[in-house]
Amino acid sequence: MEKQHFGKLIVFGVGLIGGSCALALKEKHAVREVVGIGRTRANLDKARQRGLVDRAFTFDDAWEDELRDADIVLLATPVAQIDALLTRILPAVSEKAIISDAGSTKQNVIAVARGCYRAEPRVSLANFVPAHPIAGTEHSGAAAAFATLYENKNVIITPLAETSPECTATISALWQVCGATIHTMSPAQHDTVFAAVSHLPHMLAFALVAELASRPDAGIFFQYAGSGFRDFTRIAASSPEMWRDIAFDNRDALIRELDAFARMLSELRSEIEEKNNTGLMQRLQTASDARRRWAPGSGKPDTN
């Protein structure tokens, strides 16, 4: 197979997600150059220092000229910024450029993109490829980026009816070069699945830590929290801005998940209150069995 080359890449949002993708592609010599466009000069300086990007602009700069010969534009900012950015990007890019994103919600990004493309009929939704790399850590910014972030991770692509198979293939190849496996699903199914397995757990972790932190004697609680608490709440250190955007963007699916969880928790609460031995035992056993069956990357074998 001929080595894939993706030409000139523009990354909006040179943080953990965009920066790690840029770094992986550069290390594989799969791009000619990478231009980073971001919010703060300090983060962009760090990105250049670390070799994530060759040139960098803040959102406020005049970067439109850089877009004219771009082959691929990757939107890796918080989702709420995509509307304003696409409104500036679309008039500036060539008709051949492929535009993709890395947003954790898809229906909302697609609705925004449809609006922007309607306003700029020169470019076509055939070249827009909505995607979501399932990777990340609780750290953010260019300093947190690393080239192997996507190795053995999943990238979900949710093509529109309009998206051309060639553009989907190019974006798939780009993430495969980063080490990821590609899955395709509909935007609605994506948002339902990730509301349950990602957005809900983040909200639960945020809520638990916020509740403890709100107590006058919070210190004593944090002092004795152990390794279970550490892992359970790791994701509560994630970017509040990013997760506020996700919560609002995927509101309906997330609310459904919050309600399903609240019902389950209320049943569990009754079982505890009534000392319903069989009921509670069955519920905990169901969870423990399911978690042990899933268990990817648990590190240690289940030896009991």
CA atoms of 86 and 279, how far apart (whole Å): 52
Question: Residue 296: what residue type?
Answer: P
SS3 156: strand
CB neighbourhood size of 198 (10 A): 19
Return the range that interacts with its own copies (CB under 8 A); candidates 4-12, 26-34, 158-166, 273-281: 273-281
- One-letter amino acid of 214: S
Verify binding: residue 154, its own copies, rule CB under 8 A: yes
Site string for its own copies, 95-134 (x = CB under 8 A): ---------------------------------------x
The alpha carbon of residue 54 and the mean position of all alpha carbons in its chain are separated, in whole angstroms, by: 24
What minimum distance in Å lies between the beta carbon of 61 and its own copies?
Answer: 21
If one counts every other C-beta atom within 10 angstroms of the C-beta of residue 188, the result is: 12
Q: Is 50 in the site for its own copies (CB under 8 A)?
A: no
Task: Please tell me whether residue 152 binds its own copies under the rule CB under 8 A.
Answer: no
Residue 22 sits in the site that holds its own copies (CB under 8 A): no
Collect all residues with Cβ–Cβ distance below 8 Å to 19 and sequence separation of at least 6.
11, 36, 47, 50, 52, 53, 141, 142, 144, 145
Interface of this chain with its own copies, residues 223 to 262, rule: CB under 8 A:
224-241, 243-244, 247-248, 251, 254-255, 258-262
Query: Which C-beta is closer to its own copies: that of 18 or that of 127?
Result: 18
* Binding track, positions 191-230, relative to its own copies; x by CB under 8 A: --xx-xxx-xxxxxxxxxxxxxxx---x-xxx-xxxxxxx
Distance of CA 277 to the CA centre of its chain: 40
For residue 56, the minimal CB distance to its own copies (Å) is: 16
Per DSSP, the three-state class of 160 is coil
- Segment contacting its own copies (CB under 8 A): 88-96, 120-128, 136-144, 167-175? 136-144
Position 176 contacts its own copies (CB under 8 A): no
Smaller CB separation from its own copies, 127 or 172: 172
Identify the burial level of 60 via C-beta atoms within 10 angstroms of its C-beta, where 0-12 means exposed, 13-18 middle and 19 or more buried. Answer: exposed
Contact flag: residue 181 with its own copies (CB under 8 A): no
Candidates 69, 82, 145, 164; CA nearest to 116 is: 82
How do strand 128-129 and strand 98-101 relate by DSSP bridges? parallel
User: Considering the rule CB under 8 A, would residue 36 count as an interface residue with its own copies?
Assistant: no
Our finding on whether 286 is near its own copies (CB under 8 A) is yes
**Residue range at the interface with its own copies (CB under 8 A); choices 6-14, 89-97, 113-121, 269-277:** 269-277
| Local structure of residue 3 (DSSP, 8 states) | P
Radius of gyration of the chain (CA): 21
**Residue 260 CB, nearest distance to its own copies (Å)?**
6
